[in-house]
Structure 1
């Protein structure tokens, strides 16, 4: 279910939001909602990953299956 959220941002932030939304051919309020949702999803993913890796034995099992070294296309998050 969607919820309405009201926030206040300063004029400089609003101008930046409008520019970025315009570059993507989106309404600024729609763009702001999408960006906020993406950031919240990222935070939830990182929290879940940390919890997963903090479970006893999981880190070692993961490393034994996939190796302790990142692949050639890996990048730091």
Structure 2
């Protein structure tokens, strides 16, 4: 279920939001909602990953299956 969220940002932030939305051919409010949702999803993923890796033995099991080194296309989140 979608919920409405009202926030206040300063004029400089609004101008940046409008520029970025315009570059993507989106309404600024739609773009802001999408960016907020993406950031919240990223935070939830990182929290879940940290919890997963903090479980005793998981880090070692993961490294034994997939190797301790990141792949050539890996990048920091």
Normalising by structure 2, what TM-score?
0.98
Q: Match for residue 5 of structure 1?
A: 5
Q: Deviations over 1:6-33 (max 9, x none)?
A: 0000000000000000000000000000
Query: In angstroms, what is the RMSD of aligned CA positions?
Result: 0.4
Provide the aligned length of Structure 1 versus Structure 2.
77
The answer for unaligned runs of 5 or more in structure 1 is: none
Instruction: Compute the displacement of 1:52 (Å).
Output: 0.2
Which ranges of 4 or more aligned residues in structure 1 deviate by more than 6 Å? none
The answer for unaligned runs of 5 or more in structure 2 is: none
Normalising by structure 1, what TM-score?
0.98
